Homo-oligomer: A and B are copies of this chain.
Amino acid sequence: MTETANDRSLKTTVTTLRIVELLRERDGAGVTEIARELDIAPSTAHTHVTTLEAQEYVVKEGDTYHLGLRFLGLGNFVRTRKRKFGKAEHYTNVLSEESERRSIFTVEEHGRGVYVHTAPGKHGVWTQSTVGKRVYLHSTASGKAILAHMPTARVREIIDRVGLPKETEQTIHDEEALFDELAEIRERGYALNVEEQISGVRAVGAPVMGPDGDVFGALSVAGPSNRMKGEQFDRLTEVLLGIAEELELSIALS
């Protein structure tokens, strides 16, 4: 599951990247801390981190090293790389206003869902942005919407790669159950997430298809369970589907 058995990956590069990841998680770290955490010699950690600093990917503040703003440029680049992403940003905002719920545009990469654009709901005081967050496809509304419109072979590949880990009691854990649900989603046109990722939170997701017929991503709205049911919910779904369609159209015309 965690594989790196026989491949020819560059160990040096891998440790460098692990350090980058660690610096994000810890919001900066010292040499010893890095060494302890990654099980390498302090001197080794030191070499890596100074290399990163010389390349200006890391800044040193006192004795702790932090990720530098060079990543800002890279992040901004990948976000604006595809013109379609720009369209998606606009409609994510529209969706947030019309639904008054937290809205997200997600795409698939390496078998995971990645939040590309997010917009807070009216009530939302989401202090910290979740752009770039990676989630599982099988436990989120947008993720399931995406899976539902992928070739079955691809879905199986993804399951093999990342598995179907349980995040809450409601998370779909069984492959057959998942495929059944995906069929259902295809029929009705949207996907649900009933506390499958986070207890107390429900979401609705709609696929966004590209002009080639491949699924491009998904739009979703989320909120506390008690504000996501009944006729209120039906209205939400309608708004969501409408905007997803507008986005598809807008993409097709560009």
Which chain A residues have a beta carbon within 8 Å of chain B's beta carbons?
4, 7-10, 12-14, 16-17, 20, 24, 27, 47-48, 50-52, 54-57, 59, 66-81, 107, 109-110, 114, 116, 128-129, 131-134
- Residues in B whose Cβ lies below 8 Å from that of A133: 73
Identify 13 new A-B residue pairs, CB closer than 8 A, beyond the known A9-B47, A14-B51, A74-B74: A9-B51, A9-B55, A10-B12, A10-B47, A13-B16, A67-B77, A70-B109, A71-B77, A71-B78, A73-B114, A74-B75, A75-B75, A75-B76
Shortest Cβ distance from residue A108 to the other chain B in the assembled complex, whole angstroms = 10
Query: Which of A68, A74, A110 counts the most B-chain CB atoms under 10 A from its CB?
Result: A74
Cβ-closest chain B residue relative to A58: B110
Q: Are A13 and B12 in contact (CB under 8 A)?
A: yes
Q: Which of B17, B48, B73, B132 contacts A55 (CB 8 A)?
A: B17
- Residues in B whose Cβ lies below 8 Å from that of A107: 69
Q: Are A110 and B68 in contact (CB under 8 A)?
A: yes
